Chains A and B, each alone.
Chain A
Amino acid sequence: MHMADALLSPAVGGAMCAVSAGTIAYCSRKVRQELDDKKVPLMGVLGAFLFAAQMINFTIPATGSSGHIGGGMLLTILLGPYAAFLTIASVLVVQSLFFADGGLLALGCNIFNMGFFPAFLAYPFIYKKMVGNNPNQTRLTLAIMVSAIVCLQLGPFGVVLETVLSGVSSLPFSTFVLLMQPIHLAIGAVEGLVTVAVVTFVFKARPEILQGALEAGPTGSRPVRTVVVAFLVAALFIGGIVSLFASKNPDGLEWAIAKVTGKEELEASKQGLHGVLADLQQKTAFLPDYSFRKQPEPKKSETVPVQKDEAGKVGTSAAGLVGTMIVLALAFLSGLVLKKRK
Chain B
Amino acid sequence: MSHHIVEVKNLRHVYSDGTVALKDASFRITHGESVGIIGANGAGKSTLLLHLNGYLEPTSGNIRIGDIPLSKGTLPDIRRTVGMVFQDPDDQLFMPTVFDDVAFGPFNLGMAVADVEQRVTEVLELVGANHLRDKPPYNLSGGEKKRVAIATVLSMSPDILVMDEPTNGLDPFARRQLMALIRDFKHTRIFTSHDLDMVLELCERVIVLHEGEVWADGPTLEIFNNEKLLAECRLEKPLSMQGCPICGSGRLAGSAIPCPKSYASSGFDS
Question: Looking across the interface, which residue of chain A has its beta carbon closest to that of B16?
Answer: A208
Which residues of the other chain, A, contact B94 by a CB distance below 8 angstroms?
Answer: 41, 44
Q: Closest Cβ of chain B: how far from A36's Cβ, in Å? A: 16
Which residues of the other chain, B, contact A206 by a CB distance below 8 angstroms?
Answer: 16
Which residues of the other chain, B, contact A41 by a CB distance below 8 angstroms?
Answer: 94
Query: Which residues in window 203-240 of A have CB below 8 A to B?
Result: 206, 208
A44 to B93, CA, bound (A): 13
A206 to B17, CA, bound (A): 8
Q: Closest Cβ of chain A: how far from B101's Cβ, in Å? A: 13
A149 to B224, CA, bound (A): 63
Question: Looking across the interface, which residue of chain B has its beta carbon closest to that of A206?
Answer: B16
Q: Closest Cβ of chain A: how far from B136's Cβ, in Å? A: 14
Which residues of the other chain, A, contact B16 by a CB distance below 8 angstroms?
Answer: 206, 208
Chief secondary structure at chain B's binding surface: loop
Encode B60-100 as 1/0 by CB contact (under 8 A) with A: 00000000000000000000000000000000001000000
Q: Closest Cβ of chain A: how far from B75's Cβ, in Å? A: 13
Query: Which residues in window 177-219 of A have CB below 8 A to B?
Result: 206, 208
Q: Closest Cβ of chain A: how far from B103's Cβ, in Å? A: 17
Which residues of the other chain, B, contact A44 by a CB distance below 8 angstroms?
Answer: 94
A44 to B16, CA, bound (A): 25
Question: Looking across the interface, which residue of chain A has its beta carbon closest to that of B94?
Answer: A41
A203 to B16, CA, bound (A): 14
A41 to B93, CA, bound (A): 12
A41 to B95, CA, bound (A): 11
A113 to B227, CA, bound (A): 66
A41 to B91, CA, bound (A): 10
Encode B170-182 as 1/0 by CB contact (under 8 A) with A: 0000000000000
Question: Looking across the interface, which residue of chain B has its beta carbon closest to that of A44?
Answer: B94
A206 to B94, CA, bound (A): 25
A164 to B94, CA, bound (A): 42
A41 to B16, CA, bound (A): 22
A44 to B94, CA, bound (A): 10
Q: Closest Cβ of chain A: how far from B60's Cβ, in Å? A: 20
Q: Closest Cβ of chain A: how far from B54's Cβ, in Å? A: 14
Q: Closest Cβ of chain A: how far from B6's Cβ, in Å? A: 26
A148 to B21, CA, bound (A): 40
Question: Looking across the interface, which residue of chain B has its beta carbon closest to that of A45?
Answer: B94
Query: Which residues in window 2-48 of B have CB below 8 A to A?
Result: 16
A72 to B242, CA, bound (A): 58
A35 to B94, CA, bound (A): 20
Q: Closest Cβ of chain B: how far from A87's Cβ, in Å? A: 16
Q: Closest Cβ of chain A: how far from B140's Cβ, in Å? A: 17
A208 to B94, CA, bound (A): 26
Which residues of the other chain, B, contact A208 by a CB distance below 8 angstroms?
Answer: 16
A208 to B16, CA, bound (A): 9
A44 to B96, CA, bound (A): 13
Question: Looking across the interface, which residue of chain B has its beta carbon closest to that of A208?
Answer: B16
Q: Closest Cβ of chain B: how far from A47's Cβ, in Å? A: 13
Question: Looking across the interface, which residue of chain A has its beta carbon closest to that of B91?
Answer: A41
A313 to B16, CA, bound (A): 71
Question: Looking across the interface, which residue of chain B has its beta carbon closest to that of A40?
Answer: B94
Query: Which residues in window 32-46 of A have CB below 8 A to B?
Result: 41, 44
Question: Looking across the interface, which residue of chain B has its beta carbon closest to that of A41?
Answer: B94
A306 to B142, CA, bound (A): 67
Q: Closest Cβ of chain A: how far from B88's Cβ, in Å? A: 13
A329 to B16, CA, bound (A): 67
Q: Closest Cβ of chain A: how far from B56's Cβ, in Å? A: 15
A206 to B15, CA, bound (A): 11
Q: Closest Cβ of chain B: how far from A117's Cβ, in Å? A: 31
Q: Closest Cβ of chain A: how far from B12's Cβ, in Å? A: 20
A41 to B94, CA, bound (A): 9
A208 to B17, CA, bound (A): 11
Q: Closest Cβ of chain B: how far from A171's Cβ, in Å? A: 41
Query: Which residues in window 150-192 of B have CB below 8 A to A?
Result: none
A208 to B15, CA, bound (A): 13
Encode A44-68 as 1/0 by CB contact (under 8 A) with B: 1000000000000000000000000
A44 to B95, CA, bound (A): 11
Q: Closest Cβ of chain A: how far from B105's Cβ, in Å? A: 15
Residues of B within 8 A of A (CB): 16, 94
A-B CB contact pairs (8 Å), 4 listed: A41-B94, A44-B94, A206-B16, A208-B16
Q: Which 4 A-B pairs have the closest CB atoms?
A: A208-B16, A41-B94, A206-B16, A44-B94
